[in-house]
Amino acid sequence: MTNQPPQLFTAIDSLLAAVDDGTVLPTPAERVRLREAAGLTQAAVAQALGVRVPSITAWEAGRAEPRGERLEAYRRLLEGLAHRYPAPATPPGGEDVARQPAPRSPASQGATSAPTPSPAPEPSSGPPAVPGAPTTPATQSAPEPERPATRPATSAHRPVKKRAAPPLDTDPSFPHGPLTVLDGDGCAYGIDGIVLDCPATTVPELVEWTLAESGLGAAKLHRNGKDADPLVVLTAAAAVKLGLPERLEGHEQRRSLRLPADHPVVKQVAKAKWKLTQRGFGPWARIYRPAQSGQRRCVQLAVLSWDALDERSWPGVAQMKPADIARVLGIYAMRVITPRGSTAVSGLELMTALRPPTRAVQDKETGNWVSGYNPGSLGTEPMDPAPPEATAEHPVVVNSGWTGGFLDEEAYQWVRDVDLLTGEEASLPWAVGLDLNTAFLAAAARLTVGLSAPDHFHAPTFNAKIPGSWLVDLSRIEMDPRLPSPFTPSGIRPQGPAWYQTHTVAYAQELGYNVQPLEAYLRRETGAYLDPWHDRLKTAYVDTLADLGVSKDLTDQEFLAAMERHKDADPALAAVLAAIKATVKGGVGKLRERPQGRHYKQGERWPALERPTWRPDIRAAVISKARVNMHRKLNNMAKMTGLYPLAVLSDCVVYPSPGRSPLDFLPYNASGKPQFGGFRLGPTPGLAKLEGVQEMAWAVDLMEQGYNPARHIKGGDAVLDEGE
């Protein structure tokens, strides 16, 4: 007989003890029958037991069970009702009929009744419906769920209200979804139009309510992972009601915002025996107690008026109504992850949630279940990089006196020399910008990275299958000057030996050059660590675009037209899409987070170095592959069409064009199909969309001044952002 983890024995013993003591409750259906037979509402039972209506709903659905004194009180109530209203006799030949709960009257159903099915909607030319979307026109904000004109004398009288819309998929253990948005009136807005009544007036009370009564949380994304902590988003009014300042002022950087240790709310938290993480009480505050019996006790708070939702990542969300904010964050939580900070933080947390560092393993000697390494993950301990993979201020570099150079694997920032423009190119009327969808995400697909520490090698034979850093001289390789060099982010030809990531060296080999590395730092254990991260974010991106009317079955003409209007179709979903894209870039950037603050001294360790996910080599691998992918398309375009780019900025490229549309210069075969190898239009990662159009004279003028047309082709001041 195999041994089981100790927490399983504890749970079984508790269950057997409940049977022995006679404290096992009736079945959920019988609980409903007894209450309804007595004509009691859920609100009346909740008020008598001193709990919230959602707790009674969960107990009657079998999703949760009362504990302690409430268990005894609830059992006493049910026993009393069973004595007064015994179960009906089993009808002849109909044992199954007797097991069905009695029909529920409309008066007693309250919030637990299912919405009445609505007739099928008329066909529409607009974007398809998304789970949790309002039934109002897409351009309108989600309607505020109705509330009573006056607050009841006791909060237990307020039922949960739900919009008659398709619900988002929630785990039965967390019936009210992953998060809620709290307003100043004590109304907590959740996904699918749910509104809970939150009686908390202090932060400790809010934490207690969230963990005990709210039904909030989300199931783990991997069987070896952990359930997501519930998120409570505080509006400005809610923050003030809980004793928090409406705004935090006087700090040198936004990321350092936090309450001082002597603030009354911080003292309240400590007095109630709750803890704050080392980041303190800032825009994203995590409040917890140590886990008991394997159960986490942690709540994540986000304060909107403290800029918890950055406008660049969540455009317009902070100004939305609470119900709409809950919808945006709820869709993101269901498709990506429950937000745990900025989109960059959430991107990094998603990697760990999908590749947990540990799993339960059985000790061969004792037979006990212990925590062990989960294959394919980054483990639990931080790992120092090789010197060329680090940054100049890293202790590995400072303490060793390293002077051998560093990896320079960054995104493109290149402009063609204006003197290389031909008269034919300069006479074309338009400059058209193409943008690759989530280029870093496309590069993460099936990307092999190192999982172990780097080993140093001298004069190794190059192997494209081994991730690492190679010192090699690629300066002798001649490239067409109308294209950027694939080996440097500036696009300028290398001047001598330099350090490159495996994909960059492999591309030199692909172009037909013999590479002979002088040194290398390589990793023996490898794996496609980012695969589940890529797959989840790709699905989220494609599904959200489809909900906005941009699906994979569109023709190129239809795709361009749909992309022109997709942001106006539903501002809430457009914000979700922006957040997904920011999660990709931010997550990659966080792999090499630099030290923050003017008091940092070179050579000191900074907090990010203590994370197993501080992996600049993985970041370099993603960016190297993305840049190589871009150059491969540029090179193929030149071969197929004779066209050369004017400029490249990260994942955006600008071409001279005879017309205002990409259809005027992209390569198609005789049957009208896009030619493989060049830029192709479409909604999936790695395919292209229109970034912007300007007059050719405008682009040439910028090039002559040394500016990059790709940065401004959209008509504004787009800035390269790698999430750092």
* Contacts (Cβ under 8 Å, ≥6 apart) of 43: 53, 110, 156, 157, 158, 159
Given a cut of 90, whether residue 95 has pLDDT beyond it is no
pLDDT(542) > 80: yes
The pTM is what? 0.78
Give the distance from CA 103 to its chain's centroid: 43
What's the rounded mean pLDDT across residues 455-464? 97
Contact between 60 and 54 under an 8 Å Cβ cutoff? The reply is no
Query: Is pLDDT above 60 for 251?
Result: no
The sign one gets for the Cα dihedral 695, 696, 701, 707 is positive
pLDDT tops 60 at residue 629: yes
- For the chain, which domains are there? 16-88 (1.10.260), 160-339 (no CATH)
Q: Is 426 helix (H, G, I), strand (E, B) or coil?
A: helix
Predicted local confidence at residue 342, as pLDDT: 96
- Residues 469-519: tens digit of each pLDDT: 999 999 999 999 999 999 999 999 999 999 999 999 999 999 999 999 999
> Is 318 in a helix, a strand, or coil?
helix
| 3 state SS of 302 | strand
What is the pLDDT at residue 41? 87
For the ranges 40-54, 355-369, 518-532, the lowest mean pLDDT is seen at 40-54
Q: For residue 572, which amino acid is it?
A: A
Cβ atoms of residues 157 and 587 within 8 Å? no
Angle at CA of residue 84, ends 82 and 88, nearest 5°: 65
Among the listed residues 501, 483, 503, the one whose alpha carbon sits nearest the alpha carbon of residue 493: 483
What is the mean predicted confidence (pLDDT) over 224-248? 96
Residue 114 neighbours by CB under 8 Å, 6+ apart: none
For 4-24, the pLDDT digits (tens) are 555 555 555 655 666 666 668
Which DSSP string corresponds to 645-711? -SEEETTEEEEEESSSSGGGTS-B-TTSPBPTTS--B-SSTT-EEEEEEEEHHHHHHHHHTT--HHH
Asked if the model's pLDDT at residue 143 lies above 80, the reply is: no
Residue that wins the pLDDT comparison between 415 and 56: 415
Percent of the chain with pLDDT over 90: 71
- Taking every pair of Cα atoms in the chain, the longest distance, rounded to a whole number of angstroms, is 97
Indicate whether 454 pLDDT > 60. Answer: yes
Q: What is the pLDDT of residue 123?
A: 38
Q: What are the tens digits of pLDDT across the range 62-71?
A: 767 787 778 8
Residues facing residue 276 across a β-bridge: 287
- Taking only the tens place, the pLDDT of each residue in 144-200 is 444 433 333 333 333 333 333 335 666 778 999 999 999 999 999 999 889 999 999
Rounded Cα–Cα distance for residues 642 and 663 (Å): 16
Nearest to 609 by CA among 399, 380, 376, 394: 394
The distance in angstroms from the start CA to the end CA of the chain is 52
Q: What is the pLDDT of residue 723?
A: 37
Q: Cα–Cα distance between 517 and 498 in angstroms, integer?
A: 10
pLDDT in tens, 281-332: 999 999 999 987 767 899 999 999 999 999 999 999 999 999 999 999 999 9
pLDDT for 15 equals: 59
pLDDT recorded at residue 168: 61
Q: Average of pLDDT values for 426-447? A: 97
Is the C-alpha dihedral spanning 630, 635, 639, 644 positive or negative? Answer: positive
> What pLDDT is attached to residue 93?
46
